[in-house]
Amino acid sequence: MIEFCRVTKIYNRDIKALDNVSLSIDKGEFIFLVGPSGAGKSTFVRLLLREELPTEGRIVVDGIDTGRLRRSQVPFFRRRIGMVFQDFRLLPERTVSENVAFALRVVEAPRREIYRRVPQVLHLVGLAHKSRAKPAELSGGEQQRVALARALVNNPPILIADEPTGNLDPDTAWDIMRLLVEINQRGTTVVVATHAHEIVDRLRRRVVALENGRVVRDEEKGAYGGEV
């Protein structure tokens, strides 16, 4: 599903954000991308979304080589990837359901589809009762669920979460993680970039550890620190 082949990304000529990274993620996998700040997690995500191109190497996502993608095709490519961020990135002056519907409007989904899908995903993330609330009236966990609903509403085969629990207290973080696991069980490939030790250690999923732009560890049912 996601294939990094000897990928190197250099910023400003001498800052190596990723150094010869090769990584293969299968369809339906759930993986944690861990590592200290500056290890290259964000660069990994940006390359995956084709916000940037690798300096060297090849990235293939869902059968598409991002390096060969024409600029005009990038939006259609991004529709295959659901994205969740640490800071939620919701539109503050729109209601919950408007925020979710926004992702469908943008892809020019028919109105009937919007009316059908939005309540569905809001139900999935457990926020059906708050559909008319504005983001400011919600807790952090609830806001992140709205972001999740927005990421899922287009049924993308891949979901990427960049520090999804970074701004949340431990209990709420667990709720979000459980949701991510549930989404993964429905067949979506899930990549979570995080440095939440307890979560990684308890879930025992595949862990890819980055350090200074290199993959230093890649193990099934791994832990954050690497001691199995």
- Note whether 154 binds another protein by CB under 8 A: yes
What minimum distance in Å lies between the beta carbon of 121 and another protein? 13
Pick from 6, 111, 204, 221 the residue near another protein by CB under 8 A: 111
| Interaction mask 27-66, another protein, x per CB under 8 A | ----------------------x-x---------------
Pick from 10, 55, 60, 102 the residue near another protein by CB under 8 A: 102
The contacts of residue 136 (CB under 8 Å, 6+ apart) are 92
**R_g of the chain, CA atoms, integer Å:** 17
Q: Which is nearer to another protein, 96 or 208 (CB)?
A: 96
Dihedral pair phi/psi, residue 108, rounded to 5°? 60, 45
Instruction: Tell me the three-class secondary structure of 192-221, residue by residue.
Output: EECCCHHHHHHHCCEEEEEECCEEEEEECC
| Residue 119, Cβ density class (10 Å: 0-12 exposed, 13-18 middle, ≥19 buried) | middle
- Note whether 89 binds another protein by CB under 8 A: yes
- Note whether 116 binds another protein by CB under 8 A: no
Binding site for another protein (CB under 8 A): 49, 51, 72, 75-79, 83, 89, 91, 102-103, 105-108, 110-111, 150, 154
